[in-house]
Amino acid sequence: MATPLDFLDFVDTNKDRFIQRLAQAVEIPSVSGDPAHRHDVFRMASFLESQLKQYGVETKLVDLGTHTMEGESLKLPPAVLGRIGDDKSKKTILIYGHFDVQPAQLSDGWDFPPFQLTRDEKTGRLYGRGSSDDKGPVLGWVNVLDAHHTLKKPLPVNIRFCFEGMEETGSEGLDEFILAEVKKGKDSWFDGVDAVCISDNYWLNTRTPALTYGLRGISYYKVVVSGPARDLHSGVFGRMVHEPMTDLIALMSKLVDPKGNILIPGVDEMVPPPDEEERKLYRNLDYTLEDVEVSAGAKITLSDDKASILMGRMRSPSLSLHGIEGAFYGAGGKTVIPAKVAGKFSIRLVPPQTPGNVDPLVIKYLQDEFAKLGSKNTINVENMHGGKPWVEDYKHWSYEAAHRATEAVYNQAPDYTREGGSIPVTLTFAEALGVNVLLLPMGRGDDGAHSTNEKLDTSNFIQGTKLLGSYLYEVGAGKKA
Ligand code: BES
Ligand code: MN
Ligand code: MN
């Protein structure tokens, strides 16, 4: 089914208003990982709910309970549910997105205030935290609703929405809610869903649209080494006592080598190597070393071989060291021995790895390696959060619809990609609902999600809105089984 022209025209004509709405959303600093911003995540939930309501969507805020963060008990932001359409002759699509964002401060090195949308007239870029991850795409769906409501056009499918405000910190509370909801059967909010569509990822490069059928899982760890009862003077205690930081550095240096190999026995080995056919898949993607260099901002690729680089991101596990808490003592040359330090790292997982089968290997290895140090300090390994990897069958009507929509909007076929990042709820939806999940990205590979100067190109916002709408039309064109 061709996407109606009046919808496409509406999107073009209302570009400035759509950008205005994105600006409103970016101005709410809904950082889920910072207790000081928790109320902003709640504000963002209300903003989103009122946007949906305004366009005729029945909504519900789901209380997900409380959790502890940095020793503080906090209310979790609600999930924002929505439903519109109950036509038995139409397909029903469940749309997921998240309205929380990563932290950002001007002092991190931003060229613009992160919580103000800055529009660069020359390049058309829209800078601001959340512009691409994930407020732009979430508002893309709102734009589609806006168009249909204003034009008084019926939507081509029934839609259910599930938006969350804790994605960036491990989707706390959401899995439990989904599983409990699905158990309600006919009374479930998700009853009758035929497929799930998520727009929370990016093209591989800056030229070619993509459809994404895989995500890595994640397991996030914190190793705490403590010893002295308080911080000590290194002139007084140096070489007299076991120093926590020294132990921690020794441990962290044994997790991964500079080539990216994971040194924890059994972890890399769990993943079967690719066969020739799979390698070819990666060689054929529209991607070059230069694409990595542009998005990373430096020539630092682990290899000169495009297929190995892509496999590193898409089909191999990776271990990254994120930081050491308690270790930074200001800009001066303070001569202290920190009493307690916590090293943070995570492993991105691919099938058949899961937090369940990887965590025990990690914890045992750290304990064994710590024992070898012969230190009188103590360690404690905490597992902060985790999510399983997900790989989908892309020979499915939902992917076919997205493929046709992409060709219609962009005049080119999409790349089929697996992604290195994680969206823990993806697999939960796939398993709990037993339906196909599609990732349909809006932004480009150089958007800089989580980084400084995160942006979304105006053309991606506008064409992306058309893409999301066209996808629904292509789905609607398929016969309901
Ligand atoms: N949108 C990303 C997921 C993503 C990242 C998709 C890269 C495609 C490429 C999402 O918002 C995200 O950042 N997820 C976290 C999840 C974690 C906190 C459990 C991630 O991947 O670090
Ligand atoms: Mn995201
Ligand atoms: Mn993110």
CATH number of the domain within which 179 lies: 3.40.630.10
Q: Using CA positions, which residue lies closest to atom 14 of ligand 1?
A: 422
Angle, CA 170 vertex, CA 165 and CA 175 arms, to 5°:
80
* pLDDT of 481 over the 60 cut: no
- Omega before 317 cis (within 30°)? no
- pLDDT at 34 (0 to 100): 97
Residue 284, in any domain of the structure: no
Q: How far apart are CA 81 and CA 155, in angstroms?
A: 18
Residue range 76-97, pLDDT digits in tens: 999 999 999 999 999 999 999 9
Ligand 1, residues 34, 135, 167: which to mutate, most atoms within 8 A of Cβ? 167
- Shared domain for 139 and 188, answered yes or no, is yes
* pLDDT of 479 over the 70 cut: no
* pLDDT of 329 over the 80 cut: no
| Count of domains for the chain | 2
Count of CB atoms within 10 A of residue 224's CB? 18
Does the annotation flag 422 for ligand binding? yes
* pLDDT of 38 over the 60 cut: yes
Distance from the alpha carbon of residue 321 to the mean position of ligand 2, in angstroms: 21
- Shared domain for 251 and 137, answered yes or no, is no
Distances (CA, A) of 99 to 93, 126, 171, 313, 389: 19, 17, 12, 25, 22
From 332, 360, 387, give the residue that closes a domain: 387
Average pLDDT on 285-306 reads: 93
* pLDDT of 360 over the 70 cut: yes
Taking the CA of residue 450 as reference, the ligand 1 atom at the shortest distance is 13
Assign 332 a pLDDT band (cuts: 50, 70, 90): confident
* pLDDT of 393 over the 60 cut: yes
Does the annotation flag 59 for ligand binding? no
Q: In Å, how far from its chain's centre is CA 81?
A: 19
Taking the CA of residue 212 as reference, the ligand 1 atom at the shortest distance is 8
What beta strand segments (E) does 35-178 contain? Answer: 58-62, 66-69, 72-75, 79-84, 92-98, 118-120, 125-127, 158-164
Residue 306, in any domain of the structure: no
Judge if the beta carbon of residue 146 lies within 6 A of ligand 1: no
Q: How far apart are CA 167 and CA 133, in angstroms?
A: 11
- Shared domain for 23 and 172, answered yes or no, is yes
Assign 354 a pLDDT band (cuts: 50, 70, 90): very high
- Shared domain for 91 and 233, answered yes or no, is no
- pLDDT at 28 (0 to 100): 99
Assign 330 a pLDDT band (cuts: 50, 70, 90): low
Of the candidates 424, 415, 410, 223, the one whose C-alpha atom is nearest the C-alpha of residue 326 is 223
Give the end-to-end CA distance of the chain in Å, rounded to a whole number: 17
Judge if the beta carbon of residue 454 lies within 6 A of ligand 1: no
Average pLDDT on 20-31 reads: 98
- Shared domain for 246 and 136, answered yes or no, is no
- Shared domain for 436 and 382, answered yes or no, is no
Distances (CA, A) of 68 to 99, 346, 384: 20, 20, 11
State whether residue 324 is helix, strand or coil. Answer: strand
- Shared domain for 57 and 97, answered yes or no, is yes
Max CA separation in the chain (angstroms):
79
Active site residue 400: no
- pLDDT at 459 (0 to 100): 98
* pLDDT of 274 over the 60 cut: yes
Residue 286, in any domain of the structure: no
Q: Specify the long-range contacts of residues 2-7, CB closer than 8 Å, at least 24 apart.
A: 2/408, 2/473, 3/405, 3/408, 3/466, 3/469, 3/470, 3/473, 3/474, 4/153, 4/473, 6/151, 6/153, 7/144, 7/147, 7/148, 7/151, 7/153, 7/466, 7/469
Which ligand has the shortest distance to the CA of 169?
1
Average pLDDT on 112-128 reads: 98
Residue 292, in any domain of the structure: no
Residue range 44-69, pLDDT digits in tens: 999 999 999 999 999 999 999 999 99
Residue 323, in any domain of the structure: yes
CATH number of the domain encompassing residue 356: 3.30.70.360
- Shared domain for 420 and 469, answered yes or no, is yes
Domain that holds residue 457: 5-216+389-477
* The two three-digit tokens of residue 87, written as one number: 């036509």
Assign 70 a pLDDT band (cuts: 50, 70, 90): confident
- pLDDT at 480 (0 to 100): 63
Ligand 1, residues 423, 428, 451, 456: which to mutate, most atoms within 8 A of Cβ? 423
158 φ/ψ angles, rounded to the nearest 5 degrees: -80, 140
Taking the CA of residue 133 as reference, the ligand 1 atom at the shortest distance is 1
Phi-psi region of 185 (alpha: psi -120 to 50; beta: other; left: phi over 0): left
Q: In Å, how far from its chain's centre is CA 475?
A: 25
Q: How far apart are CA 101 and CA 44, in angstroms?
A: 10
From 387, 404, 419, give the residue that closes a domain: 387
Residue 408, in any domain of the structure: yes
- pLDDT at 173 (0 to 100): 94
Residue 88, in any domain of the structure: yes
- Shared domain for 52 and 173, answered yes or no, is yes
- Shared domain for 199 and 223, answered yes or no, is no
State whether residue 147 is helix, strand or coil. Answer: helix
- Shared domain for 223 and 208, answered yes or no, is no
396 φ/ψ angles, rounded to the nearest 5 degrees: -145, 150
Active site residue 446: no
Residue range 398-456, pLDDT digits in tens: 999 999 999 999 999 999 999 999 999 999 999 999 999 999 999 999 999 999 999 99
- Omega before 200 cis (within 30°)? no
- pLDDT at 1 (0 to 100): 62
From 353, 387, 421, give the residue that closes a domain: 387
- Shared domain for 251 and 181, answered yes or no, is no
Count of CB atoms within 10 A of residue 83's CB? 18
Residue 80, in any domain of the structure: yes
Contacts of 411 (CB under 8 A, 6+ apart): none
Distance from the alpha carbon of residue 319 to the mean position of ligand 1, in angstroms: 15
Q: What's the pTM?
A: 0.94
